[in-house]
Chain A
Amino acid sequence: MNFIALKMLFGDRAKFIGIVIGLTFASLLITQQSAIFAGIMTRTFSFLLDVGLPDIWVVDPRAKYIDDIKPMDDNAYLQVRGVEGVKWAVPLYKGTLAVRLKDGTYQSCTVVGLDDETLMGGPATMVSGDLSYLRRSGAVIVDQTGAAGKLAHLLPNGKSVPLRVGEEMEINDNEAVVVGICKVSQTFQNVPVIYMTYSSATLFAPGQRLLLSFVCVKAMPGQNLHSLCQRIERATHLRAYTRNEFKMVTFLYYLKYTGMPINFLTAVALGFLVGIAISGQTFYNFTLDNLRYFGTLKAMGARNGMLLRMILLQALVVGGIGYGLGVGAATAWGMYMGAHTQLAFRLPWHLLVVSAVAVLVICLSSAALSIRKVMKLEPAVVFRS
């Protein structure tokens, strides 16, 4: 019966294309919007992904997420070092400073100050220069996207020239020299990232009593990280998070306190509803158009189970095609836009599953209406002209 089901499905080209277009559009919208949402949410904790070594992040207890910097006492990291089970603990500065561009305008940048000794927390991938050059006086490393984008020199003819190694720049009215270009993950704020040593950061940052943003901690082998966090908190009265906890705290903050989830959820729901509306309606019409033939098959001996499998097969085939086309289009679009713009697009397998389930629900809902109609169909209908 599969043979007949598929022939019936492909035979009505207009409806077949209509159903597939509906499902493709739904799949595209659901996948694309979810992937953009995932991309943006990943950017909220991209700093944590780039600074991969620490097991534990110690912050001021009032800090609600990674970008909510509440400076701590500069000696806090020394207190942390004294806690049992800590292998090492280094200070890390993170703040926003203004960089003066050659055309006289200012650009806000994220400045990361690394421990002078270890340079722990530095970028993993250097495009040019070397991380150790940061120890030179006034040295900074700039991220590639920022150097080629917001920090690039704009020529009179409208073209822009990327910031290069060796060039000088003015950070918060202090001279700095670019000693390297690095690759980092895009941040949520989407501003250039500048690396320097912690001591440089104290010079560049506006005068303030407290500067320490984070204490990055490596646990000794075999340590239970949660127990270590508790010991650190007891000893320092600061807040200690494991890396995953800090990621989750940040993720949940953005989820709870920004309008992003509802915006994206609305778009995803729209895709879902459009899919139901177009595909469901068209699929139902397809079944209604074929009701006479289903009745004929029933009269000729096709049991309800056979017809049920036929309709399910038809629904799953259009679903599979629509899903494939939709996900394919979303991926191609994401890859293209990702390569040519700063679009946040992340498509982990979980989202593919979510999208597949959504399309499956659309297909099964559409099929359910049709199945009900066919199951209730009296075979005697074939004798009614």
Chain B
Amino acid sequence: MSNRDARPKLQGKIAVGCKGVTKTFGTGNSAVHALRGIDLEVRTNELMMLVGPSGCGKTTLISVIAGVLRRDGGECTVFDQDYNLMSEDKTTSFRGMNIGFVFQAFNLIPSLTTAENVATPLIINGMKPKPAVAKAREMLDRVGFDDRMMRSFPPDLSGGQQQRVAIARALVHGPRFIVCDEPTSALDGETGHKVMELLRRLGCVENRALVVVTHDSRIYKFADRIATMEDGRITTVVDSAADLKVISQKTI
């Protein structure tokens, strides 16, 4: 993609820094080592993609980075903050202020209008519903929603529209770090493309960092760097989809 080539080399500060991160589920013979010493850095204004086969530990890694799952070992900081040194409540508050989430299944609350859904992170952070919804409407305007769509409910929207709402919700409170889990897997190619363009345009600005977990090779071109995971480890980190292709061919 030509846009990607025009981007400057990564110069941002370290947003996420992981060293030797481990995570094991279960104990004894049934123990599953989901992360086996992850070293990873994500910089501000960077869109990092995590790719790899199912069960390789991608989701576990973003869960740890996003602070929804505690790591067992290693070091991991997000904007110099270590979740393992924070109380549960502090971690939750940190997430509320600093992290935006985009989920594979959108996770929009069906009984709230799109504007109310987008307002949710603001309300969680203590804003009153009325100004929160007003601010959410501004955000929805930026993702191309008109007034009628802002008043509609998620079940009335297409998959692409719902993911745009989810992106608006992830951005509305001005988080410093956005975590996207398979944001295009429920969408067709064209819609997925548009969603990624939107994420790229609105997400990778203002010293924000983005991590996208995906299986969808069609969207690799939107990444600044692509980290490949296998069996709980990061095997390669490349700068482009082309580089990834070369490495894959060499491996074969």
Chain A contacts to B: CB under 8 angstroms: 1, 3-4, 7-8, 10-12, 290, 292-293, 295-304, 306, 378-380, 382-385
Contacts and interface: CB of A to CB of B under 8 A. Distances in A.
Contacts of B123: 1, 3-4
Nearest to B107: A296
Given A296-B103, A382-B101, A383-B62, A302 B111 contact: no
Given A7-B116, A12-B111, A292-B107, A299 B124 contact: no
A4 B95 contact: no
Q: Which 7 A-B pairs have the closest CB atoms?
A: A301-B96, A11-B111, A379-B68, A3-B129, A296-B107, A380-B69, A380-B68
A3 B116 CA distance: 10
Interface residues of B, number: 32
7 contacts: A1-B123, A10-B111, A301-B92, A301-B97, A301-B124, A379-B95, A382-B68
Contact of A300 (B89, B95, B105, B110): B95
A380 B103 CA distance: 11
B81 interface: no
A382 B109 contact: no
A56 B93 CA distance: 69
Nearest to B181: A383
Interface of B: 59, 62-63, 66, 68-69, 88-89, 92-93, 95-97, 99, 101, 103-105, 107, 109-112, 116, 120-121, 123-125, 129, 181-182
Contact of A11 (B68, B97, B110, B125): B110
A298 B111 contact: no
A301 B93 contact: yes
B124 to A, nearest CB: 5
B63 A383 contact: yes
Contacts of A292: 105, 107
Nearest to B133: A3
A301 to B, nearest CB: 2
A293 B92 contact: no
A8 B111 CA distance: 6
Contact of A383 (B68, B99, B129): B68
A383 B111 contact: no
B109 A4 contact: yes
A299 B129 CA distance: 19
B101 A302 contact: no
B76 to A, nearest CB: 15
B112 A300 contact: no
B69 A4 contact: no
Contact of B101 (A3, A4, A300, A378): A300
A378 B99 CA distance: 17
A304 B90 CA distance: 12
Contacts of A10: 111
Contacts of B124: 1, 297, 300-302, 306
Given A12-B111, A380-B63, 18 more contacts: A7-B111, A7-B116, A8-B111, A10-B111, A290-B109, A293-B107, A293-B109, A296-B103, A300-B101, A300-B124, A301-B121, A301-B125, A302-B124, A303-B89, A303-B93, A380-B69, A383-B63, A383-B103
